Amino acid sequence: MQASNQIVRGLWVGSELSIMEQLSIRSFLANGHHYQLYVYEDVKNIPPGTQVMDANCILPIERVFTYQHGAEKGSYSGFADEFRLHLLSQKGGWWADLDVVCLKPFDFRSAYVIASSYEGQWGSPAINCVMKMPAKSCLASYLCREAQRYDPQQIRFTETGPRLLQKAIERLELHSTVVDHETFCAISWRSVRQKIVYDESNTLVLRATHWAKDYVRSILKPEMSVDRLRGNAYAIHLWSEIWRREQLDKNGTYHPTCLYERLKNRYL
């Protein structure tokens, strides 16, 4: 594995990791990566082998904020969006959200790798759940500078995350850095309840409905066929924000055939 690919970094704001975050970290460790977790306090349930880092070295704890508006009110994801920009600017290398599960080593030759998410008629825009870039790169510098223009008390969901990243890629003409959505986000956020996590109560109905939709789509609009894991998938994005909105328990036990349980069996 290239030196630039060895370390994967992430952030956790809070006192305890759920099963999902443990699953994410363990998956990277199992695939040969060194994992650095940035924290602001003592955190329970950190997997053995994880290197714990002081997040204050990137941004002081006084900068931590939560969304104040909308369905995401109370979420730290806006702060995490900003934190990763400063981390990548200082350190470079890989960033992965703690709802990303590694399937195989991130051994990419490219200096820049940006994830994307399939959004139907809008194509596959860049998304910031998985990113690789050099330290002090033009992209990281631009993102940090632009993010500082926003008032943390007024920031809206994705404003300093995917939307800012997409703007930067357009401005800096870095379209070639964005990889196919199947690389990290083959399963859409719209399919969390159908593919990633489900239980006995809705297994048959949901799976039958989703299969029917997939079948019709594959015939009428083959270019829109998504939600299939193929050999080019390096990771799976579990979309924890959808879990939060729908009050799904990340520590829960679900149907054994759902993707979440299969990943737990593989890595935990």
| 144 and 46 inside one domain | yes
Rounded Cα gap, residues 85 and 233, in angstroms: 24
DSSP state at residue 193:
I
Tell me whether strands 93-96 and 51-54 are parallel, antiparallel or unpaired: unpaired
Q: For residue 156, give the nearest of 261, 57, 68, 95 by alpha carbon.
A: 68
> In degrees, to the nearest 5, what angle opens at C-alpha 50 toward C-alphas 18 and 157?
50
User: To which residue do tokens 């969390």 refer?
Assistant: 192
pLDDT of residue 181: 94
| 195 and 179 inside one domain | no
In 3-state terms, what secondary structure has residue 107? coil
pLDDT of residue 123: 80
Q: pLDDT per position in the chain (268 positions), as tens?
A: 898 999 999 999 999 999 999 999 999 999 999 999 999 999 999 999 999 999 999 999 999 998 888 778 878 989 999 999 999 999 999 999 999 999 999 999 999 999 999 887 778 899 999 999 999 999 999 999 999 999 888 888 888 899 999 999 999 999 999 999 999 999 998 888 888 888 765 555 555 565 555 555 555 454 444 556 778 899 999 999 999 989 999 999 999 999 999 999 999 9
Q: Give the domain-ending residue among 142, 158, 183.
A: 183
The model's pTM? 0.89
| 139 and 24 inside one domain | yes
| 176 and 222 inside one domain | no
| 175 and 195 inside one domain | no
pLDDT of residue 48: 98
pLDDT of residue 183: 96
Domain count, the chain: 2
Identify the domain containing residue 11 by its residue range: 3-183
Q: For residue 243, give the nearest of 18, 15, 2 by alpha carbon.
A: 18
